[in-house]
Structure 1
């Protein structure tokens, strides 16, 4: 089921046509190819008067199967994010009349500037012949990191001989086609990206060397986290000073109000309503939290987030690219016994075994419209699982 979540809805009419700078192969306006989805939301939140109606679309049953799409229906364009890396791979303008683009000193699109074939050819210059899709009746013209799709009326399909056409394309009656779709994509490869199956050829630009985004975080259950890029080892029992030194200043610090799971511990002598003195270091930009004991000031838990759409915490954290190994930690290269953000619950059970019934976790229907999740506990680790079988959070601890 394709889910569509309105991020914001304002009453009244559309704000009208906006003008965004077009950067072939790089992006449009404030949106850059390769940017993480959370940065796109930051841009949206900073300009609420412009991006007043925003839809988030994703495939609820299998969120890794299709793009996560941020859509601006009033402005006629989509941002398509790779579902695994959650980085922007393709910008798709589907209604050129609703969005005006600025390239150098030229304006493209909008209600008064038709984006015709001849006009685009004049702005961007000569290029190689494009591709004609006979089934769709669409001719696509390509430039580095940029493509324009033009619908061809059936009576003029003979203008596209052997799938190509003479450039600039004009019909015998003196008219020229108007683009129906514009795609902006990474130009570091020679791939041609357009409508239909060609849309799937858009890939995310490579990350710069040393980037911490999607850094693999190796988990040694009951012992430590190991960060693959920086090389830091953060063990249970480490102090706030240790963490601050190795990982830098946290993005947030907050006190844990109530330990909701303490009621399940038969050996814990504390009254079940006691306020908890423990506190979190939140590393939102790295996808995890660290919980410190309020008395000893030592690490007692790590919480790793997958940032799946359809979860109440979506876009609060980036995706933590963790790797958890099963019973044996000797073979650090074995993918068959590892649990990652892409693992589903059935795969976890194959690796760790059945753990019995789940605890039900919900934040209430008012604050969590996505419903409850299921928490399964093992020695040293607990998994919060969504209804679609994907893992939303992983909590690491040392079993007593």
Structure 2
């Protein structure tokens, strides 16, 4: 599952999950994200694609709320049943020696915080059969016997099929959406050509259709036309892909494409799923099959030099919390920078929050 999907599910059930703590590294756009759901759950999401990597269950006997852990048709832990070493062995069978009981995709720890007692012998004594399990860690089954890096990306699985794997951005043209599995044909959306009907056929019905009413940016336009004559259009919001499409109100053709990076700590966090975009440059020659690209996790300075090696465009300031009463964020201010055919929204840490093609 993606971070966006899990948070959306938790937000729709505030009674069961009244408090969710989100932890991340504000200096890295590909920082792993940890969700703390007190008291039982810690969820670790991968850095680049924000996919659920590891689940940690703890405080199994905490009654607020009570937790029941099952494996197949067997109850392992409940308010009436304490999970112990002998219970794990009976349910899962033998495994390799160690401080913890490790099986493919799951392991059981007898330490509260994961730090084993260095003085405790590695082989359990008879009385240690009654050791209480303090933590259960669940992850994907690794294809190899080597332990998987907790900071790595998750392996492609059936649950991802139909989700966006990557988006290739071509300035002055449009985007190519690549879906899981990788054998799926890409979907091309071209500015000035693709229609609203094309989007519905290729991507399905948008989660929301938003009619554009905010024309405050028109004050910066060189056009002398009156506002009533401007074709404001409407947006197709595909939150599950992290993409917005502005469609002309009279032509019903795509006019603008907005791709969202879903950076934690920014005002737009969790409104959109992360869109793993890459801006593609011109190939060096006709035989170049791998033209240069800049990805969503690259620093703004690198992307700026990639788009415009000569000079830095004028900068406009934006604070998305101005219209949100009571919302305070440490990283609420962003800058808008326009280039030829593309604009970037950049946060205070020099990471790109969104890409706008027009």
Aligned pair in 2 of structure 1 residues 174, 320: CA closer, same or farther (>3 Å)?
Answer: closer
Asked whether the 8 Å contact 1:116–1:176 carries over to 2, the reply is: yes
1:190 to 119, 122, 144: 144
Q: Relative to 1, partners in 2 of residues 1:225 and 1:54: Cα closer, same or farther, differing over 3 Å?
A: same
Unaligned runs of 5+ in 2: 179-183
- How many residues align structurally? 336
CA–CA separation in structure 2 for the residues paired with 1:91 and 1:209 = 16
Match of 1:45 in 2: 11
Q: Is the 8 A contact 2:319 2:334 kept in 1?
A: yes
Q: Which is worse superposed, 106-115 or 78-87?
A: 106-115
| 2:181 paired residue number | none
The separation in 2 between residues aligned to 1:114 and 1:363, in whole angstroms, is 49
- Spell out the pairing of 1:369-384 with structure 2 (5 A cutoff): 369-370=328-329, 371-384=332-345
- Cα offsets for 1:160-187 (capped at 9, x unmatched): 2xxxx2xxx235x667432332110111
Q: How does 1:157-236 map to 2 (within 5 A)?
A: 157=120, 159-160=121-122, 165=123, 169-170=124-125, 176-191=130-145, 200=150, 204-208=154-158, 211-228=161-178, 229-236=184-191
CA RMSD of aligned residues (A): 2.8
Which deviations, in whole Å up to 9, do the C-alpha atoms of 1:234-277 show, x marking residues without a partner? 22113222333333322221111122322112234335x98863
**Cα distance in 1, alignment partners of residues 251 and 60 from structure 2:** 60
What TM-score does the superposition give when structure 2 sets the normalisation length? 0.83
From 351, 354, 357, the counterpart of 1:390: 351
Q: Distance in 2 between matches of 1:376 and 1:245?
A: 33
User: Measured at CA, do residues 119 and 236 of structure 1 come closer, stay the same or move farther in structure 2, by a change above 3 Å?
Assistant: same
Deviates more, 1:370-379 or 1:37-46: 37-46
CA deviation profile, 1:316-363 (whole Å, cap 9, x unmatched): 2222222212355864513xx312221220211231234234211122
List aligned pairs for 1:41-190, cutoff 5 A: 41-65=7-31, 67-74=32-39, 76-98=40-62, 99-109=67-77, 112-130=80-98, 139-151=99-111, 153=117, 157=120, 159-160=121-122, 165=123, 169-170=124-125, 176-190=130-144
Name the CA distance, whole Å, in 1 between partners of 2:129 and 2:200.
65
Q: What displacement does 1:191 show?
A: 4.6
The DSSP-based 3-state class of the residue aligned with 1:384 is: strand
Aligned twin of 1:266: 222
> In the alignment, is residue 333 of structure 1 matched against residue 319 of structure 2?
no
Q: Tell me, in whole angstroms, the C-alpha distance in 2 between the residues paired with 1:243 and 1:250.
A: 9
Secondary structure of 2:11 counterpart: helix
Q: Runs of 4 or more off by more than 6 Å in structure 1?
A: 273-276
Q: Contact 1:64–1:84 (CA<8 Å) still a contact in 2? A: yes
Cα gap change, 1:366 to 1:205, in 2 (>3 Å): same
Q: Deviations over 1:15-57 (max 9, x none)?
A: xxxxxxxxxxxxxxxxxxxx11222124323433222222122
Structure 1 stretch displaced more, 227-236 or 281-290: 227-236
Q: CA deviation at 1:383?
A: 0.4
Distance 2:239 2:35 in 1: 21
2:206 matched to 1:250?
A: yes
Unaligned runs of 5+ in 1: 1-34, 131-138
Match of 1:250, SS state, is coil
Query: Aligned partners of 1:377 and 1:234: how far apart in 2?
Result: 21
Alpha-carbon distance change, 259 to 248 in structure 1, aligned in 2, over 3 angstroms: same
SS of the equivalent of 1:285 reads: coil
Distance in 2 between the 1:46 and 1:37 partners? 14
